[in-house]
Amino acid sequence: MMSLPLWEFAIDDHELYIVEVDGVLTKPKAVNVVRMAPAQRVSVLVRAKNTVAKNYQYHITVLDEYVPPIPGVYPAQFDGAVVYHPDAPVDIVQSIPSERFDELSIETLEYEPVLVADQSMFLNLTYGFTEEEIPFETINLIAYQDSLVPSLFSALTTGERAINPITYGPQTNTRVLKYNEVVEMLFWSPTELPHPMHLHGHVFQIIERGLVNDTTGASRQRVPDTGFSPLQRDTVHVTQGEYVIARFRANNPGVWNLHCHFSWHIGLGFNMLMVVGPRELQRTMRLPPAVIEQCRIQGIATHGNAAGHNSFNYMGAPDLPFLEAALPEAAAKLAAAGGSI
């Protein structure tokens, strides 16, 4: 549940049997090491040895794919003891395993075949710059900003206008989804930064991944179309220069965030909203009076569109910053010199 690096966990001379990922039970899968990005969770079972002749070590390694190694500092390693007998020697290994988490080979325990998409979203995970060379983290060059009215309140109080994405303000980058439709998300990461993409309220199937600059298909990895139950999770780590295809069924009415789980990325606007089944939401949800009272005390409006109006009037809603995809001159010079943004 961290906000920057990757973590790996391994126990010397012990296999780890993956049985759950991000809250979804899986068919057991034996691995030597488990790697997790921010917001990801994995449960494993470990079969103990049938002898107490040796003790072992477990290892937690903190690493990242874009931070250069610093000898003695990074990657950082933390070791602990797995004790079978206090007088037994410790079995010291020569190397600690390290590898990517192979999501495409893991199946859910409860069989659900590959979903067939009703619609597809192209989500460009990139940064943009204002004319003043201020950077923003964006999805499709839109940097998220809160509306004057919390978007859940807008979905509940605007009637039929709740099915119109503009109700929530263009700066929220909202997509309105029909209840129970299957949505395909194509995460596209063309920059030098990775992004652990986290969806609230749902889990998605991991269908395919590869490199964005691959024109031959050599890097393309995909789950079988039949006879396979793809892994479902709520966070996928999209590494730099990579794309990932994920699909989910929009069966949980609500207003849900989709964001990068690096804390400073979401602070710079790396977020968007999925409004799922607003009609169903209005029929089934009522906000507790205590929540409305808390907003009243803080001066937060609790009804209307992004600007707090019960009409098509959006005067006073937050404005989008105008962003350019190209590197500004100063940043381009820094990148050309081997620096990073």
Residue 1 has pLDDT above 60, yes or no: no
Peptide bond into 75 cis (omega under 30): yes
- In the predicted model, what is the mean pLDDT of residues 1-12? 81
pLDDT of residue 341: 47
Residue 327 confidence (pLDDT)? 55
Question: Per-residue pLDDT tens for 81-121?
Answer: 999 999 999 999 989 999 999 999 999 999 999 999 999 99
Helix (DSSP H) and strand (DSSP E) numbers for the chain: 5, 19
What is residue 258's predicted lDDT score, i.e. its pLDDT? 98
The angle subtended at Cα 62 by Cα 58 and Cα 65, nearest 5°, is 130
Give the CA radius of gyration of the chain: 23
Q: What is the mean pLDDT of the chain?
A: 91
Give the torsion through C-alpha atoms of 188, 193, 198, 203, to 10 deg: 50
User: What is the arithmetic mean of pLDDT over 66-71?
Assistant: 74
pTM across the whole model: 0.91
